[in-house]
A and B are shown apart, each in its own frame.
Chain A
Amino acid sequence: MRDPKTRGLIIQIVLIIAITAFAAWLISNTMQNLTRSKIASGFGFLNYRAGFDIGQVPIDYTANSSYGRALVVGIVNTILVSGAGIALATIVGFIVGIARLSHNYLLRGLATIYVETFRNIPPLLVILFWYFGVLTVLPLPKDAIEFPLSTYLSNRGLQMPAARFDAIAIWSVLALIAGIVGAWLLSRRARAMQLQTGQRPSILWPVLGLLIGLPLVVFAVTGFPMTFEIPKATRFNLSGGWHVRPEFLALFLALSFYTAAFIAEIVRAGIIAVSKGQTEAASALGLSRRLTLRLVVVPQAFRVIIPPLTSQYLNLTKNSSLGLAVGYPELVAIGSTVLNQTGQSVEVVAIWMLSYLGLSLSVAAFMNWFNARAALVER
């Protein structure tokens, strides 16, 4: 008991036993309550026919698919909107965050207004605002705004021709992969030569040839195995083609601009955290302001930025569950339908929690990896 190591071990064992016991109690109590209230339980329903249609199906799904499959569609849709949202939020957040420190008064003022506005509105309102805003501004499909290349914008969303590839197009994909591998080998060789001789041979053209030329040639040789599906006006809608729905647009824009406000503050704090001496040293070396920012400030700021940035990414992912309010078929929206049709609320809620846990842990794992790479490497 005196030994801190044994003590730690014992505490851990006790803790594990306690947690396991609590989980066991939770499950058995749930089962008992369900049976007593005569409510059905179990996960068997996941294999039953779902019987409902979903607005946005990125993977194969029809009403004949199972409830389990429907939930997978929901997860994929959650990942789609979160991924796109994280990308845009990061870009906007960095721009606004840097603008907050700009010497230009107007730019700084605008960035401040942006941050203060979005930070102080509940995300649900932001989403509803974008949704009904988007719907009000855009015309009915029969008066759709037409862009070149058969692209249309209406309150049914953005529709453009979709490329459909024949099976033989796989060769072009293989060629592209081969090109990427080749380019990587080339750049490795170039780097080795640079280390040896101090001269880096120019590999721009061969790399471009490998990455773009090779796949294109293969594509041509196989006879351009691609057709375009063009959106066509039907009685009610434009159908066919590639379709970005207003529900996605609204949720994506709302989540991005909302989260960007928080990211901007994180970026600002990160930049301020880099000591002034670093900037002064950089300008003493004759680096321009832009180069200073890129080579000295940002890499160091990243170390401060990444951990809080991770939690913003997690927030965005979780906030995507508000999609239910505007009809975006993400995990919670589809789960609600499943829950409603089967009545198995405990099971569906458990699936929600596990899915979000999984998504969050994946984002966190990726960001930790990224963080480890960005960490100070002392030479």
Chain B
Amino acid sequence: MKNLVKTLLGASIIALSAMPASAATLDDVKKAGTLRCGVNTGLPGFGYQGDDGEWLGFDVDYCRAVAAAVFDGDGTKVQFTPLSAVQRFPALQNNEVDLLARNTTWTMNRDTALGLNFVGVNYYDGQGFMVRKDLDVTSALQLSGATVCVQSGTTTELNLTDYFRSNNMEFQPVVIESQNDVNTAYEQGRCDVLTTDASGLYASRLELANPDEHVVLPEIISKEPLGPLVRQGDEQWFDIVKWVHFGLLNAEELGVNQDNVDEMVNSENPDVRRLLGQDGNFGADVGLTNDWMVKVIKAVGNYGEIFDRNIGPDTPLKIQRGLNALWTKGGLQYAPPVR
């Protein structure tokens, strides 16, 4: 219901307001003193609140990284807005948040027709299925006739239909608004299958009463490149968020991390020197300070550290780097150089 109200509100803002062609997000953020970041309402590992109400997660750390770049190393100057799948785009379009980091799939429609810009892919994901172990299903191709629970407002609804159709299988959808209610419905046996991004499946499984009674099937049926996004129309802000993301990747590639960043400042390696602002004027060119990446890395670490801390093998989610390993390690994560 809250979502509906937000959608209606969004539409009426578009209809009634004289929307400013807000071009200078950086100035607005600095003036406000906090970065307004849209995150998940609660997806363990990606965007959720810890026991003391503090925001944690892979996407949350991206918000903190951008805040650290803007606010001279202070990654705490973030105001988090939890957004459901349906709410997230109107919230960004209507300037309620400056940045959306909420396991959002980069699709052409969202990138163009919605007036948004994806800054890159911070997590290569794909849609998967989870079923109860006692159904003895080992492959998604055995799912014909099943009832499938899915959250509304996601890319998953469409993929689901495409996959079942192209494999000549039938299914019955149950489309529910909140992920919590989707999980409950699945757990109560309303559905045989729960489907969403594989990352989300691992996170949802942790929240079930008996995680061991459920398996994630091997098939990945879609490409879900997840990434942070901003509004169209402010190239500078787009560049800032984009280069914070690339900076995090480059830092991992160059071996710069939270522990050694202070020594690395004295490195002889020209790539490291440019990244950390010792040579060149790169930070100032996007409107930040030249040592912007030093600040970012001190606040949140490099890409690999963010990954390991929130979702890596040592966390409850136990996600392997897989596609998200650096290109130098057989993965897909590759950032343009700071040059």
Whether A341 lies near B109 (C-beta < 8 A) is: yes
When A34-B14, A234-B145, A322-B1 are in contact, do A337 and B152 touch as well, CB less than 8 Å? yes
Report the interface size for chain B: residues with CB under 8 A from the other chain.
Answer: 61
Whether A55 lies near B175 (C-beta < 8 A) is: yes
Give every chain B residue within 8 A of A337 (Cβ-Cβ).
Answer: 152-153, 157, 175
Q: Bound state CA distance, A30 and B188, in angstroms?
A: 44
Whether A339 lies near B109 (C-beta < 8 A) is: no
Residue among A322, A324, A342 making CB contact with B113, cutoff 8 Å: A342
B245 to chain A, nearest CB (A): 22
Give every chain B residue within 8 A of A132 (Cβ-Cβ).
Answer: 184-185, 188
Give every chain B residue within 8 A of A30 (Cβ-Cβ).
Answer: 14-15
A128 interface residue per 8 A CB criterion: yes
Instruction: Identify which of residues 70-113 in chain B touch chain A, using a CB-to-CB cut-off of 8 Å.
Output: 85-86, 89-90, 93, 109-110, 112-113
When A26-B15, A136-B188 are in contact, do A237 and B172 touch as well, CB less than 8 Å? yes
Chain B CB within 10 A, most for which of A63, A132, A234, A336: A336
Instruction: Identify which of residues 32-69 in chain B touch chain A, using a CB-to-CB cut-off of 8 Å.
Output: none
**SS class of chain B's interface: helix, strand, loop or mixed?**
mixed
Chain A CB within 10 A, most for which of B154, B174, B233: B174
Give every chain A residue within 8 A of B144 (Cβ-Cβ).
Answer: 235
Residue among A55, A341, A345 making CB contact with B174, cutoff 8 Å: A55
Stretch touching chain A among B3-11, B214-222, B253-261, B297-305: B3-11
Instruction: Identify which of residues 187-202 in chain B touch chain A, using a CB-to-CB cut-off of 8 Å.
Output: 188-190, 192
Whether B192 lies near A236 (C-beta < 8 A) is: yes
Chain B CB within 10 A, most for which of A33, A333, A344: A33
Give every chain A residue within 8 A of B176 (Cβ-Cβ).
Answer: 325-327
Stretch touching chain A among B17-25, B319-327, B330-338: B17-25
Digit string of A18-42 for contact with B (CB within 8 Å is 1, else 0)?
0000000010011001101111100
Whether B231 lies near A37 (C-beta < 8 A) is: yes
Digit string of B170-185 for contact with A (CB within 8 Å is 1, else 0)?
0111111110010011
Nearest-neighbor residue (CB-CB) of A154 within chain B: B189
B209 interface residue per 8 A CB criterion: no
Give every chain A residue within 8 A of B143 (Cβ-Cβ).
Answer: 236
Chain A CB within 10 A, most for which of B15, B115, B149: B15
Stretch touching chain B among A46-54, A84-92, A270-278, A362-370: A46-54
Q: Give the total number of A-B pairs whose CB atoms are below 8 A apart.
A: 156
Whether A237 lies near B146 (C-beta < 8 A) is: yes
Whether A140 lies near B174 (C-beta < 8 A) is: no
A36 to chain B, nearest CB (A): 5
Nearest-neighbor residue (CB-CB) of B8 within chain A: A349
Give every chain B residue within 8 A of A326 (Cβ-Cβ).
Answer: 176, 181
B278 interface residue per 8 A CB criterion: no
Q: Bound state CA distance, A239 and B172, in angstroms?
A: 10
Whether A346 lies near B113 (C-beta < 8 A) is: no
Digit string of B132-174 for contact with A (CB within 8 Å is 1, else 0)?
0001000000111111010011100110111011000001111
Digit string of A340-353 for contact with B (CB within 8 Å is 1, else 0)?
11111110011000
When A132-B188, A346-B11 are in contact, do A156 and B110 touch as well, CB less than 8 Å? no
Give every chain A residue within 8 A of B142 (Cβ-Cβ).
Answer: 235
Whether A128 lies near B145 (C-beta < 8 A) is: no
Nearest-neighbor residue (CB-CB) of A353 within chain B: B8
A329 interface residue per 8 A CB criterion: yes
Q: Bound state CA distance, A324 and B86, in angstroms?
A: 12
Residue among B15, B19, B110, B173 making CB contact with A55, cutoff 8 Å: B173
A317 to chain B, nearest CB (A): 15
When A26-B16, A124-B1 are in contact, do A340 and B90 touch as well, CB less than 8 Å? no
Whether B177 lies near A324 (C-beta < 8 A) is: yes
Q: Bound state CA distance, A30 and B190, in angstroms?
A: 42
Q: Bound state CA distance, A135 and B185, in angstroms?
A: 8
Q: List 27 A-B contacts (CB under 8 A).
A: A33-B19, A39-B93, A52-B161, A55-B172, A55-B173, A63-B161, A132-B184, A132-B188, A156-B190, A234-B145, A235-B144, A235-B146, A237-B145, A246-B190, A324-B177, A325-B177, A329-B175, A336-B4, A336-B152, A336-B153, A340-B153, A341-B157, A341-B158, A343-B110, A344-B113, A345-B89, A346-B15
In the A-B complex, list the 3 residue pairs whose CB atoms are closest, starting with the nearest.
Answer: A40-B113, A38-B115, A349-B11
Q: A37-B115, A332-B4 are in contact. List 14 more A-B contacts (CB 8 A).
A: A37-B233, A39-B114, A40-B114, A53-B164, A53-B171, A156-B190, A236-B147, A327-B177, A336-B3, A336-B7, A340-B86, A340-B157, A342-B113, A346-B14
Residues on B lying within 8 angstroms of A by beta carbon are 1, 3-4, 7-8, 10-11, 14-19, 21, 85-86, 89-90, 93, 109-110, 112-115, 135, 142-147, 149, 152-154, 157-158, 160-162, 164-165, 171-178, 181, 184-185, 188-190, 192, 231-233
Residues on A lying within 8 angstroms of B by beta carbon are 26, 29-30, 33-34, 36-40, 51-55, 63, 124, 128, 131-132, 135-136, 140, 155-156, 234-237, 239, 246-247, 321-322, 324-327, 329, 332-333, 336-337, 339-346, 349-350
